[in-house]
Amino acid sequence: EAAVTQSPRSKVAVTGGKVTLSCHQTNNHDYMYWYRQDTGHGLRLIHYSYVADSTEKGDIPDGYKASRPSQENFSLILELASLSQTAVYFCASSDAGREGQNTLYFGAGTRLSVL
Amino acid sequence: TQTVSQSDAHVTVFEGDSVELRCNYSYGGSIYLSWYIQHHGHGLQFLLKYYSGNPVVQGVNGFEAEFSKSDSSFHLRKASVHWSDSAVYFCAVSASSNNRIFFGDGTQLVVKP
């Protein structure tokens, strides 16, 4: 069965600190995504990647960087964490092709609290 | 830019009831429409999607959705809900002309025994 694994599952960070969220997929999918979910709201796309060593900006990239060192791994990096980045972060993968045309497979999420 | 609206933030029904979760979108071109389910503490899971053809699409666990171009809607339905259907349901829309998928804010479905 396809699998997307995120680590850590939860994290408390201090304002101004560096945070790295990791995602690993065993789906053999080309596309990977990072979404942010705020309480009571839908998901917003931060960064995505369609091939290793390349990343693209999504709809809300400010304050975030992404890294795709291999097909299986995709990281989200907050260089200077801020209170406004407190949220749940989801990683997803999909087959090659356009994001909207393909089924997304999600990880379980990382709950980040910035204090 | 396409948008998606889920008018009901919360829906409460009893086990065995039928339910309809509403989704409306705005976009003038060809689109892909999907529904995802999120159980508490988990990631989203795909339920079903529509692009063309029969406007009624079947998904897993007895869910179906009907596309209506005239109403700009893609409502999700289930004839008889089970307590395990309690979750948050997200409608998603993507234009065939771009790489973006937009999610609604979700509808929390509570099924009472």
Contact present, B41 and A10 (Cβ < 8 Å): no
Residue A94: half-sphere exposure toward Cβ, Cα within 13 Å:
18
Q: What is the pLDDT of residue A75?
A: 98
C-alpha to C-alpha distance for A59 and A97, rounded to whole angstroms: 19
In three-state form (DSSP H/G/I as H, E/B as E, the rest C), the secondary structure along A6-55 is EECCEEEECCCCCEEEEEEECCCCCEEEEEEECCCCCEEEEEEEEECCEE
Closest by Cβ to A90, choosing from B43, B46, B51 = B43
C-alpha to C-alpha distance for A56 and A24, rounded to whole angstroms: 18
pLDDT digits (tens, 9 = 90+) for B62-105: 999 999 999 999 999 999 999 999 999 999 988 766 666 789 99
Q: What is the pLDDT of residue A99?
A: 53
* Assigned token pair, A105: 């497979």
Is-cis flag, bond preceding B113, omega within 30?
A: no
The chain-wide mean pLDDT, for chain B, equals 91
Size of the A and B interface in Cβ pairs below 8 Å: 65
Average pLDDT over residues A66-95: 95
C-alpha to C-alpha distance for B72 and B33, rounded to whole angstroms: 11
Chosen for mutation from B7, B21, B44 (greatest number of chain A CBs closer than 10 Å) is B44
Judged by a CB distance cut-off of 8 A, whether residue B107 touches chain A is no
Contact present, A31 and A14 (Cβ < 8 Å): no
Average pLDDT over residues A60-85: 97
Closest by Cβ to A109, choosing from B31, B32, B43 = B43
pLDDT digits (tens, 9 = 90+) for A17-68: 999 999 999 999 888 999 999 987 788 999 999 899 999 999 899 999 999 9
C-alpha to C-alpha distance for A31 and B46, rounded to whole angstroms: 16
Which B positions 36-55 lie with beta carbon below 8 A of chain A? 36, 41-46, 49, 51
pLDDT digits (tens, 9 = 90+) for B16-60: 999 999 999 987 777 889 999 999 888 899 999 998 889 999 998
C-beta atoms of B106 and A41 within 8 A? yes
Closest by Cβ to B101, choosing from A100, A105, A109 = A100
Taking alpha carbons only, the member of B7, B104, B3, B90 closest to residue B46 is B90
Taking alpha carbons only, the member of B43, B50, B34, B41 closest to residue B90 is B34
Q: Taking the CB of residue A112, how many other CB atoms lie within 10 A of it?
A: 21
Q: What is the pLDDT of residue B35?
A: 96
Q: What is the pLDDT of residue B43?
A: 87
Q: What is the pLDDT of residue A96?
A: 61
C-alpha to C-alpha distance for B13 and A9, rounded to whole angstroms: 31
C-alpha to C-alpha distance for A48 and A37, rounded to whole angstroms: 15
C-alpha to C-alpha distance for B91 and B113, rounded to whole angstroms: 26
Q: What is the pLDDT of residue B102?
A: 84
The structural domains of chain B, ordered by start, are 3-112 (2.60.40.10)
Residue A40: left (phi > 0), alpha (psi -120 to 50), or beta? left
Chain A residues closer than 8 Å to B99 by CB:
98-100
As a whole number of Å, the end-to-end CA separation of chain A is 37
